[in-house]
Chain A
Amino acid sequence: MKRLINIYTMSFLLGMGLVSSCKKEYGNLNGATIEGYSHDATKDQLNGLVIGAVGGMRNSEGTYLDAVGVIGREIYRFSGADPRFATDLLGQDNLTLNNTAFYLANPWGSRYRAVKNCNVIIDAVANTTLIPDNQKKAYTGFAKTLKAHELLMNLNLTYSNGIRVDVDDPKNLGPVLNFDQSITAIANLLDEGKADLTGAEVVFSLGDGFDGFTDADGLIKFNRALAARVDVYRQQWSTALTDLGLSFYDLTGDFTTGVYQVFSAGAGDQLNSAFFPQNNTGEVRLAHPSFTTDMEANDDRAAKATLRTSPASYGGLSGDKDAWVYTSSTAPIPVVRNEELILIYAEANIQSDNLAEGVKALNVIRTGHNLPVYSGAVTKDALITEMLKQRRFSLFFEGHRWVDMRRYDKLNTLPIDRPNDDVWSDMPIPQAEGL
């Protein structure tokens, strides 16, 4: 018995000794952690977060453009692998938009992920002592601008169902605000961004998509361009004109000047997911047949819908033209560009009863696309119709049509291709938000 106890204790002590002497802690082997930014972040770390946010703008962009493009009756998206592009999004028969489906959940999540990165930047800047104040303000100014844009993209999806704006603390998320509160918050965020950028010094790179807008002044112009768009969404016409003046709006300038999402095949980079080659089968993006039938003759924007070698069909729909806006896997996607600003200028003037100025802007668009000058009635209603028409063709497949028809209460004018199809006015809040 005694021997038993001796052996017992001996082995136990041996074990304890062996074991307590080995302290092992494997940190994370596969990436940086959030704790690493919360105290004295360096300039290089912050620059990495900035690029991360810029890159994050592109996540799920193909899905977003597909969703708003299909609902807005700009494109057909046929997919052999997923029927929901042609069923749920078009409201076939009894189907409705599903609050767990990818067409909502993926863009929604991707936008908030970029917002999170921006919040980490703002947080890190507040807690670092290694960077001078005027450089700090450039970081926060840019982060707030980008954050506002990302929130706006989600508000485009859920519209009257609103979005959350205060999402800094994941354990304590702010409430879902209604449309008015949300859009006001976005406008305020843009104003704060502009205030921060004023007099700041930019020491970070932004990638090729921001060429021409890389310093504080350039970023302010970008910020005001977004503000002008938000102003017309809020129907604040004179503010819109003011903001246009502070942006890169140029009535005689190139339509393509602006800020873009850029793509490449480099390591850790992305390719443009809104691109399919022409005449693809199985996975197709077609221009809605009404795009070419509603267009005036000689309009050079007809090149955005190219004739296929053979038509494509799916679920009772068919079309013979590919949507040909993004023409390669590295083609850029505009965030905001001068052509949209010119159209905003037209819209703001028409709505403020400066009809002549509105016509002038619309003619810049028309002549720029090989069309004769406007010859229709010069009344507010007729000009609004013309302005929406020009927006439709100029900004085809850039994510605007559904939003424009909705804010002008004209969703019921969009074509219904199959009996029992529906035109949705907004998407539900994703189920994962737990509401």
Chain B
Amino acid sequence: MKWTMLVFLNVLLPTLIFSQGRTINGRVTDAKSMPVPGVNVMVNQTKQGTTTDVDGKFSIVVPDNATLMISSAGFQSQTINVTSSQTDVQVKLLEDFAKLDEVVVTGLATTVKRRNLANAVGTVSSKELNGVAPAQTFDAALNGKVTGAYINANSGAPGGGISVKLRGVTSVFGNTQPLYVVDGIYVDNTTTSAGLNAVTGAIRDGNITSNQDNASSRIADLRAEDIENIEILKGASAAAIYGSRAAAGVIIITTKRGKQGKTKFSVSQDLGFVKARKLLGVRQFTEETAGSLSSNPATSAALKQQFLDAQSAGKLYDYEKEVYGKTGFLRNTVLSMTGGSEKTSFYFSAAQKDEGGIVKNTGYRNTSLRLNVDHKITDNIKLGISTNYVNSSADRGLTGNDNNGVTYSVSLSSTPQFAELHPDQFGAYPANPFAASNVLQTIALMRNNESVNRFSTGFNFEAQLQRSRKSVTKFIGRGGVDFYNLNTDVQFPRELQFQAVNKGTAIQGFTKSLNTNYILSLVNTYDANDNLSFTTSAGYTQEIGNFNNLLDVATQVAPGQTGVDQGGALSALQIRKKFENDGLFIQEEATIKDGIILTGGVRFDRSTNNGSTTLKFIAYPKAGVSANLTRLGVINTGFFTNFKLRAAYGQSANFPVFESRFTTFVGSNVSTIQGSIVNIQGGDAEIKPERQTELEGGIDFSVLNSKLNFEITFYNKKIFDFLMLRTVEPSSGFTTKWVNAGDLRNQGVEISMNARPVSTGNVTWTSSVSFWLNRSRVTRLSIPPVVLGSFGTTLGTFQIEQGKSATQIVGVDAPNQPKGTVVQLGDQEPRFQMNTFNEVTLMSKLSLRFLIHWKYKGDNVNLTNLLNDFGGTSADYDANGATRIGGYLGGSARGFVQNSGYLRFREIGLYYTFNKIPGNIIRSVRAGVSLNNYITITKYVSYDPEVSNFGTGFSTGVDVDPFPASKRAMFSVTIDF
């Protein structure tokens, strides 16, 4: 009772003191004179505040000669002096086009306005993410929109599988993908193989899984429609406070939340189709060339005859078109609801997506339910809950590298147009004499499905513990649980041509992943005086992860059956991972004259993944300074409306790969007797985490009344003790061993400009253009150069070598070099990238939006054509095939290292909004058409320059018969109630 009295008094005291003041009434409207609810109105120098109601009105008690601070997201803040006689205030808010007042997350519990930010934090708004041409999955929606990132789709298979690399190479074997935090929940983004290697043999000698199994990564489950905005912390200088998982950056996603006001509904329906973006074509045979497929005279004659028979019967087929030429239908329905009262607000969405693929029996389905609720328990205690359930299913086909001739394109590579692959009148498929599989049979009978059920729940709890004139202290508790069940179902029935030995293979995978995290922190804001204020935050965090993946491979499966107990033989693979990270952090931000911000902080982190240092805390400090020269008056606002200099520094670390400490034994059984043999991967008990330091500096300035804004950033990112799976001398019994091998460095530039060139009453045009480049170099390597990430020096491969770019591609190059000598043939890193996002609006009704992305240079290792050449089916074989093969046989890999630069019109959308609907029920209707990935200009000769046979890891851009990329067209209607 006494305690409540004290709190009461504390809160009431300021009011009591100022009860001698007068009441001010006011109204806030926007540029179009529409009322703006939920605007924060604060009395300067006190912590008195209120928010506007549904009609934009507010009422507040102020002392004489007070100053009101008006702020709201998306609008420029205003300061209004209230004279002693004034009782009424009208405020007209202007759009914050330059986003200087946008609030950005800077710590685990703190935020800062963009105008005061010491880092270059990237943002992607909801409109940019999803408002132009919707992509199939969330990770695809990010493509082309993040300055400083290299985003690359691994293949065109439905269901995702995209690599996001921020500011160059962060690691070679460790994690290269950023940490995703959704509403405070640290979500899992693992890629789990379905065990396709057991059938494709992409890695020889018995492995069930490999990184060539073209699996998707779990961030694809998230629905882009639910996202309000995304903040991207690109390196340690911004992300250090996230500790040992932040080395590759952090992507902070906030989903939509409810707003006070009348309950609003929105229904949107998309319909569209998807087609292959580009097909390569097939060789047109003649009698002569058909015979030349074999050197044996008898076979040659038989082939010639076969060709003539097929030609006269009209049975010359374009199998590439039959396989990849299907048009898939797309549909997506989203229902969302938002509303709230003064105390409680909610956002609910239900979304269902069903998309066909460009290959028969492939496609992607995703159903999502989300409920976000915010509730004010009291004026000082707030609770927010976010819950999301996703059910998705992806049928991904069978593509990519293989050694058994069974993936679609590898099988096609040796199948000429006069082969007969179609089923007979009994529905039986003929055996393909030209390859190990009949691709039409494979497509019809096989199954490769990933099904996910995912539950994510997060909570955010804020309680004001103390409030006085000068200081406010809050307790913030935030945390979440991310759980998913991934079932992979791979079926190759015994009728398939290549199942003659195994007589049917069924591979079922069961994965359970549970990630929990929480942060407990105290944040104190202290205003020493008008010109000096401090924000202090400190807290404790914990993350626990638990991953259990079980793969059962059954062979000799009974006819027509798919269960693993229906097989004559069964083998299993289980992978279990557990980790726990604990962290302590402290951060201090000092604001001087509202123009100079100094921040400093440190995080102490320990992880069970580290070697002998498991129980030791490692410190990751950060610091930053930003000086807003216009706010400080150093530069007069005239030409420049805003001019800021900033610099920041931070350290972080990367997970050592699980089990890198251990040298283990694996099963090697004989005649049903259990046996153990050393694993080919040796561990290092002394393994250390990879550390990163990043120094970043930049200039932000706005001219022309904030209609033209620039952000220029330079960065130097250094990685120490990066982990390598070093190829050791195989005579040691191991093929590879984990070592902390060396240091590498990334340096780069990011320049962003956004402008509003045209802004009349009827026409507005907003545009943003970004330019970025990155250069990497291995500065120290304590082991000999390591070849990795591709198929060896005869075909072009990556090589980690001291003094060279980390992404260099090397290979043999006779006769330019002595036979067998390895030289650099290219570099996977683009010279630079640019993007531009534009929106032209006519009369506030018709809006054209487009996103263009330009990747200039940067090389791929293109082996797709090689396989088609060796199989004699490449489209231009008769003209160029022999020359290409000659180059390879002559001992040169140069022909495979190809420029994969492109200019892509990634998204184009045209929308029309009907605002004045008769009747009271429908508020507005928006209809539009959009094209995704429709126009690509590139010299690269294969299905698509964006490709990675080895998935989302260090190796990217290796092209071996991938699932072709696709282009989408959609028609959408959105009705707001």
- The answer to whether A4 touches B526, judged by C-beta atoms less than 8 angstroms apart, is yes
Cross-chain contact B433 with A12 (CB below 8 angstroms):
no
Contact in complex: B296, A313 (CB < 8 Å): yes
What 0/1 pattern do residues 262 to 300 of A give for CB contact below 8 A with B? Answer: 101111111101011100111100000000000000000
* Mask of A232-247 contacts with B, CB within 8 angstroms, 1/0: 0000000000000000
Given the known interface contacts A51-B669, A59-B205, the answer about A265 and B500 at a Cβ–Cβ threshold of 8 Å is no
Given the known interface contacts A24-B608, A101-B792, A283-B405, the answer about A95 and B435 at a Cβ–Cβ threshold of 8 Å is: no
Q: How far is the CA of A121 from the CA of B576 in the complex (A)?
A: 28
Contact-residue bracket for chain B? 35 or more
**Assembled-state Cα–Cα distance A206/B49 (Å):** 83
A377: interface (CB < 8 Å):
no
* A7, B733: Cβ atoms closer than 8 Å: no
Closest to B554 in A: A265
Cβ B732 vs Cβ A112 within 8 A: yes
Partner of B819, one of A24, A29, A96, A313: A96
* Given contact pairs A19-B582, A433-B731, A280 touches B436 in the complex (Cβ within 8 A): yes
B659 within 8 A of A: yes
A30 within 8 Å of B (CB atoms) = yes
Q: In the complex, how many angstroms separate the beta carbon of B870 from the nearest chain A beta carbon?
A: 5
The stretch of A31-39, A220-228, A386-394 in contact with B is A31-39
Distance of B786 from chain A, by nearest CB (Å): 9
| Residue A48 is within 8 A (CB to CB) of chain B in the complex | yes
What is the minimal beta-carbon distance from A198 to any residue of chain B, in angstroms?
A: 26
11 residue pairs from A and B, CB less than 8 Å apart: A26-B608, A28-B662, A94-B891, A109-B730, A115-B733, A170-B737, A268-B571, A281-B432, A282-B414, A316-B295, A432-B730
Q: How far is the CA of A262 from the CA of B673 in the complex (A)?
A: 12
The residues of B that contact A48 with a CB separation of less than 8 Å are 674-676
Query: A117 CA to B296 CA in the complex, in Å?
Result: 47
Decide yes or no whether A409 CB sits under 8 A from chain B. Answer: no
- Whether a CB of chain A sits under 8 angstroms from the CB of B77 is no
A114 interface residue (CB < 8 Å to B): yes
**Cβ-based interface call for A54 (8 A):** yes
- B329-362 CB mask vs A (1 if < 8 Å, else 0) is 0000000000000000000000000000000000
Question: Counting CB contacts under 8 A, is B84 at the interface?
Answer: no
- Cross-chain contact A25 with B437 (CB below 8 angstroms): no
Contact A430-B730, Cβ < 8 Å, known A31-B666, A207-B673, A271-B501: yes
Q: Which of B770-822 contact A (CB under 8 A)?
A: 784, 787, 792-794, 814, 819-820
Establish whether residues A29 and B577, one from each chain, have CB atoms under 8 Å apart when the complex forms.
yes
> Which of B568, B615, B667, B793 has the most chain A CB atoms closer than 10 A to its own CB?
B667
Our pick among B538, B662, B669 for the contact of A266 (Cβ within 8 Å) is B669
A50-B665 Cα distance, complex, nearest whole Å: 13
Given contacts A112-B730, A265-B569, A267-B570, 8 further A-B contacts (CB under 8 A): A34-B665, A80-B871, A116-B732, A173-B732, A264-B671, A267-B572, A315-B870, A434-B784
Q: Indicate if the CB atoms of A311 and B571 lie closer than 8 Å.
A: no
Q: How far is the CA of A311 from the CA of B294 in the complex (A)?
A: 10
How long is the Cα–Cα vector from A267 to B302 in the complex, in angstroms? 44
Cβ of B410 and Cβ of A318 under 8 Å apart?
no
Contact of B733 among A8, A119, A282 (CB under 8 A): A119
Q: Which residues of A contact B497 (CB under 8 A)?
A: 281
Q: Known: A53-B677, A81-B403. Contact between A266 and B501, CB under 8 A? A: no
Q: Is B578 an interface residue (CB 8 A)?
A: yes
Complex interface residues of chain B between 656 and 706 (CB less than 8 A to chain A) = 659, 661-680, 682-683
- Whether B733 contacts A112 by the Cβ 8 Å rule is yes
- Chain B residues with CB under 8 A of A49: 675-677
In the complex, whether A15 has a CB less than 8 A from a CB of chain B is yes
**Residue of chain B at shortest CB distance from A95:** B889
Q: Across the interface, do A63 and B819 meet the contact criterion of CB distance under 8 Å?
A: no
Say yes or no for B386: interface residue by CB 8 A criterion: no
Given the interface pairs A167-B731, A265-B555, the reply to whether A281 lies near B431 with Cβ below 8 Å is yes
State which size class the interface on A falls in. Answer: 35 or more
* B731 and A112 contacting across the interface, CB-CB below 8 Å: yes
Minimal beta-carbon separation of A295 from chain B (angstroms) = 20
Answer whether residue A329 sits at the interface, using C-beta atoms and an 8 A cutoff.
Answer: yes
B667 touches A268 (CB 8 A): yes
Q: Does the CB pair B578–A29 fall under 8 Å?
A: yes
**CA A15 to CA B519, docked complex, whole Å:** 11
Docked Cα-Cα span, A315 to B414, in Å, equals 12
* Inter-chain contact A15/B889, CB cutoff 8 Å: no
Please report the C-alpha to C-alpha distance between residue A52 and residue B569 in the assembled complex, in whole angstroms. Answer: 20
Report chain A residues within 8 Å CB of B667.
Answer: 267-268
- B424 at the A interface (CB under 8 A): no
A213 proximal to B (CB < 8 A) = no
Contact with B along A413-430 (1 / 0, CB 8 A): 000000000000000001
Taking CB atoms, residues of chain B closer than 8 Å to A12 are 538, 584, 586
Query: A30-B574, A265-B556, A433-B731 known; A311 and B677 CB under 8 Å?
Result: no
Nearest neighbor of A32 in chain B, beta-carbon distance: B665
Taken together as a complex, chains A and B put the C-alpha atoms of A207 and B668 apart, in Å, by 12
B914 close to A (CB within 8 Å) = no
B675 contacts A50, C-beta separation under 8 Å: yes
Asked if A353 is an interface residue, CB under 8 A from chain B, the answer is no
Known: A7-B524, A19-B582, A167-B733. A28 touches B296 (CB 8 A): no
Q: Are B584 and A15 in contact (CB under 8 A)?
A: yes
Residue in contact with A280 in the complex, picked from B500, B555, B672, B728, CB distance below 8 Å: B500
A94 to B891, CA, bound (A): 6
Once A and B bind, how many residue pairs between them come within 8 Å at the CB atom?
305
The 8 Å CB contact of B614, one of A25, A30, A108, A269, is A25
- Interface: B580 (CB within 8 A): yes
With A7-B473, A51-B675: A173-B570 Cβ-Cβ less than 8 Å: no
* Residues on B with beta carbons closer than 8 Å to the beta carbon of A54: 670, 675
- Set of chain A residues within 8 Å of B501, measured between Cβ atoms: 271, 275-277, 329
Contacting pair B676 A24 (CB below 8 A): no
Shortest CB–CB separation between residue B497 and chain A, in angstroms?
A: 8
Q: Mark A299-314, 1 if CB is under 8 A from B, else 0.
A: 0000000000011010
B639 at the interface (CB under 8 A from A): no
User: Would B730 and A318 count as touching, CB distance under 8 A?
Assistant: no
- Which residues of chain B are within 8 angstroms of A102 by Cβ–Cβ distance? 204
Minimum CB–CB distance for B245 against chain A, Å: 16
Q: How far is the CA of A120 from the CA of B663 in the complex (A)?
A: 12
Kindly name the residue among B534, B538, B661, B682 whose own CB sees the greatest number of chain A CB atoms within 10 A.
Answer: B538
In the complex, the answer to whether B670 meets A281 with C-beta atoms within 8 Å is: no
Tell me the nearest residue of chain A to B435, going by C-beta. Answer: A282
The distance in angstroms between the C-alpha atoms of A396 and B784, with both chains bound, is 41
Q: How far is the CB of A383 from chain B (nearest CB, A)?
A: 36
Is B539 an interface residue when CB atoms closer than 8 A count as contact? yes
| CB within 8 Å of B: which A126-153 residues | none
Question: Which one of A11, A167, A207, A310 lies within 8 Å of B299 (CB-CB)?
Answer: A310
Return the chain A residue nearest B534 by Cβ.
A4
Residue from B521, B608, B670, B729 in contact with A433 in the complex, judged by beta carbons closer than 8 Å? B729
* Contact A4 B664, CB 8 Å, known A19-B582, A26-B578: no
Chain B's closest residue to A431 (CB) is B787
Q: For residue B432, which residues in chain A have a CB less than 8 angstroms away from its CB?
A: 281-282
Interface digits, B382-425 against A, CB 8 Å rule (1 contact, 0 not)?
A: 00000000000000000000111100001101100000000000
**With A49-B676, A50-B675 as contacts: A94 and B730 at CB distance below 8 Å:** no
Contacts of A112 in B (CB 8 A): 730-733
For residue B212, CB closer than 8 A to chain A, the reply is: no
- Which listed residue (B614, B733, B889) contacts A92, Cβ 8 A? B889
In the assembled complex, how far is the CB of residue B584 from the closest CB belonging to chain A, in whole angstroms?
Answer: 5
Listed residue (A14, A94, A120, A281) with the most chain B CB atoms within 10 angstroms of its CB: A281
CA distance A34 to B521 in the complex (A): 43
Complex Cα spacing A278 to B228, Å = 61
Question: Within 8 Å CB of A88, what residues of B?
Answer: 794
Verify B668–A432 contact, CB threshold 8 A: no
Query: Complex: how many Å from CA A432 to CA B608?
Result: 32
- Minimum distance in angstroms from B468 CB to a CB of chain A: 9
CB of A313 within 8 A of CB of B293, answer yes
Select from chain B the residue with minimum beta-carbon distance to A278: B500
> Given A30-B664, A267-B570, A267-B669, does the pair A52, B677 have CB atoms closer than 8 Å?
yes
